[in-house]
Amino acid sequence: MASNQQTHGAASCCRNRRELSSDDIENLKRLRSAGVHGHPMKILSMYHECNESIELTKARKDHEREMRNQQREERSSKHELLAEVETGYVTVNNREDWPRHIEQVYLDGNNMMFVVKSLRRLCLNRAGKKTERALAEIASAWK
């Protein structure tokens, strides 16, 4: 029984692994000497997709490497930009937290609608008419 499990385990392992022929090994040696490196099976499949041309395989591998590097740089620049934006926000909790050169804040129609929607969203579920009364008082104070 144990030998049957060992045989079955070895068979499933070999089933997942493709054996390399002597031609494949020679092709891999030539590709490696030409500067194409990576997973042997992926390199061989790319080599066969490129009509067994070492030059085309090398060019395709270089192109893929350049694309990965470009994507990596784009991701890192996006992360840096996001970090700058997050640190750029000014937290305003008290009057002392305001920047010193700002003395007054003006709300235009869009900003006022944002304030109204935010107050309704945050307070209406709990306070009901108190929120509407507070909005009416704020609106009368702006006149």
Q: What is the rounded distance in angstroms from the CA atom of residue 140 to the CA atom of residue 10?
A: 82
pTM of the model: 0.48
Q: What is the rounded distance in angstroms from the CA atom of residue 123 to the CA atom of residue 117?
A: 10
pLDDT of residue 45: 92
Q: Residue ranges of the chain with pLDDT lower than 50?
A: 12-15
pLDDT of residue 123: 66
Query: Is residue 40 within 8 Å of residue 19, measured between CB atoms?
Result: no
pLDDT of residue 31: 93
pLDDT of residue 5: 52
Ordered by start, the domain boundaries in the chain are 1-69, 100-143
